[in-house]
Structure 1
Amino acid sequence: MGIMRLGRVEARVLDLEKSIDYYSNVIGLQLMARENGTAYFKAWDEEDHHSLILTEADHPGLAHLAFKVRYEHELDEFEKSLETYGVRVNRVSKGTRLAEGQAIRFELPTGHLVELYHEIERVGNGLKLNPDPYPDNLKGIAPPQLDHLLITGEDVQGATDLLMKVFDFHMSERIVTLDGEQLLAVWLFRTNTPHDIAILKGPNGKLHHFAFTLGSWNDILHAADVLGKNNVAFDVTPTRHGITRGTTIYFFDPSGNRNEVFSGGYIPCEDFTPVTWTEDQLGKGIFYHMRELNERFSTALT
């Protein structure tokens, strides 16, 4: 019961046509529909109608993130739990966005809008009867699915408490001050990946990145080649995280929203004991090989 996974991200983009070309041909997502300045995408191994929404706007960033719940009635239950916790909840009507049912919407202490939903059109992945490992005619990087996102805000502890106490998220890793008194960043999961959402201390309401999963280190290197061929701006070229142990590339879409492709990492269970990093080891935790952060990683937010 409860939250199944990170279901979708809605990102604001400056030029919808350039963004559609980039997410279709470089990232390799499937364009499912477009209407009224908005485009809907899915990755090839996803079965829901979309996991990424792009909306044209005058500034980039995160419009909202959404978690999918297993049962429709859980929307009512979570609405009551949030209100008991002291969080204001609004209803989003069915059909507000293409292919979506009703949702509940609330704001994290970090200023980010979050939705919970169950109903969405199921279109499948075409790989359910005697299938090949992957479909033909994939383009670009071609990740199989949306993986996670990282947001920033002042009240990391407050957002962490809400997600863990109301929605039963579990903590995989955290960064704390040297005295251990303050939480500076946290990685939280509901699935079997190292994180579905991460929160870093910083300006409220900002997006650091959203990420797609890949299968292996070789896929990471292939992704770097695709990005290089298309002259995409890199933030960090292929490397390893200390935190999560995953392999990674960070880069920017045409609007300046940071993307990541991510592979590997451990498989946590509900009784996983969180890994703790102290702030003096932040560079090693984020980029294990270089052991230091570049300036863009800390300051390039949308």
Structure 2
Amino acid sequence: MARPEIAKLGHVALVSSDLEKSLWFFKEVIGLEETEARDGVHYLRAWGDFQHHTLSLEAGDGGQVRHIGWRTKRPEDVQAFRELLEQDGVEVETVKAGTTPGIGEAIRFPLPSGHQFELYYDVEKPKADEHRRSVLKNQTYKAWAKGVSPRRFDHVNIHTDTDAALTYDFLREQLGFKMREYVRDDDGNVLAGWMSVTSLVHDLAFIQKPSLPSPARLHHISYWSDDSQDILRAADILKENGLRFIGPGKHGISQALYLYVMDPGSGCRVELFTGGYLIFEPDWEPVEWTLAERDLGNTYWGDTVSDKEDNNVTIMA
């Protein structure tokens, strides 16, 4: 039997201490479309996302992420991952089909860092209502209907105060992630890694930061726009709505253009993202950055993330 594989990043389940503000931010400012609302949970996606949702929002005490979801390549991969994980002593929870709207049977489990992942294959791909539907058969919604209007969900960036090596090994060996670029300290430890299961430079970034108040943290989620003009337009929209942001700038690692803004309801940081490069080489060798080069890796040019970043990082549940 072929080794199970993850196909793509699926969704993030976010809890907000001010749901009304979060819905305003993600729907009206960022411009995500609501697929449905059920039992107090709102399910959103970008105009180019196909599956039921890429972000869910619900009310709760403080900003939290319940789990990060990933879609497998084949239906049988869900069970195959379960068997591999349980063989390695990982506690795996079964989630019945339909527990989360639009998603079939899934499994949930913790990374060594404590972050909760969910794997599933079966998804619904609901069509948009007629007044929101694109005339293009290969596109879900009309583009530019409102707000920033990014095309699709792109990646997540998570942090930990634990030994990152355990989680890097887990992501590679158990889940099949490939290291694309990384930062190594003077003692030889990998402190930050950009990893993917697709041709993207990263579907997931994982960074060790000893000063964090808890081991499992979310730094940001990211939505992709088509080009640099979209990011400049996003800056205008954020400014008009009274939101502070970091950027625009360009990362050295990934070579992508970025802009960061905080959801005022949950405290979740959102990166608006474009550019960069894709990896098609089967023998790609991970790119190493040293601590001395880290500033260049983070910010090739533009507004520096580390200079203005605060500690309002979303807590993983």
In structure 2, how many angstroms separate the alpha carbons of the residues matched to 1:298 and 1:27? 21
In structure 1, how many angstroms separate the alpha carbons of the residues matched to 2:22 and 2:28? 10
What secondary structure, in the 3-state scheme, does the structure 2 residue paired with 1:161 have? helix
Who is 1:48 aligned against? 51
Which amino acid is the alignment partner of residue 186 of structure 1?
A: G
Give the counterpart of 1:250 among 255, 260, 263: 260
Matched, 1:161 2:169: yes
Who is 1:227 aligned against? 238
Give the counterpart of 2:275 among 264, 271, 277: 264
Q: Once the two structures are superposed, what CA deviation does each residue of 1:7-35 show, in whole Å capped at 9, x if it has no partner?
A: 00111111112211111111100011112
* Contact persistence 1:10–1:62 (CA under 8 A): yes
Give the counterpart of 1:182 among 186, 189, 192: 189
Q: Tell me, which stretches of 5 or more residues in structure 1 are unaligned? A: none
* Contact persistence 1:11–1:53 (CA under 8 A): yes
Which amino acid is the alignment partner of residue 27 of structure 1?
A: I
Matched, 1:25 2:18: no
CA distance 1:132–1:84, change in 2 (3 Å): closer
Which amino acid is the alignment partner of residue 34 of structure 1?
A: A
In structure 1, how many angstroms separate the alpha carbons of the residues matched to 2:193 and 2:113? 13
Number of aligned pairs?
A: 300
Who is 2:87 aligned against? 84
TM-score (norm 1): 0.93
The percent identity for this pair of structures is 34
| Deviation for aligned residue 1:103 | 0.5
Who is 1:115 aligned against? 118
Q: Once the two structures are superposed, what CA deviation does each residue of 1:8-65 show, in whole Å capped at 9, x if it has no partner?
A: 0111111112211111111100011112331100111111111101121111132210
TM-score (norm 2): 0.89
Who is 2:40 aligned against? 37
In structure 2, how many angstroms separate the alpha carbons of the residues matched to 1:190 and 1:208? 20
Matches within 5 A, 1:86-235: 86-124=89-127, 135=142, 138-153=145-160, 154-179=162-187, 181-202=188-209, 203=212, 204-234=215-245
* Contact persistence 1:282–1:292 (CA under 8 A): no
In structure 2, how many angstroms separate the alpha carbons of the residues matched to 1:295 and 1:129? 42
Superposition RMSD in Å: 2.1
What secondary structure, in the 3-state scheme, does the structure 1 residue paired with 2:292 have? helix
| Deviation for aligned residue 1:134 | 7.1
What secondary structure, in the 3-state scheme, does the structure 2 residue paired with 1:294 have? helix
* Contact persistence 2:249–2:304 (CA under 8 A): no
Q: Tell me, which stretches of 5 or more residues in structure 2 are unaligned? A: none
Q: Which moved more, 1:240-249 or 1:12-21?
A: 12-21
In structure 2, how many angstroms separate the alpha carbons of the residues matched to 1:69 and 1:209? 22
* Contact persistence 1:12–1:62 (CA under 8 A): yes
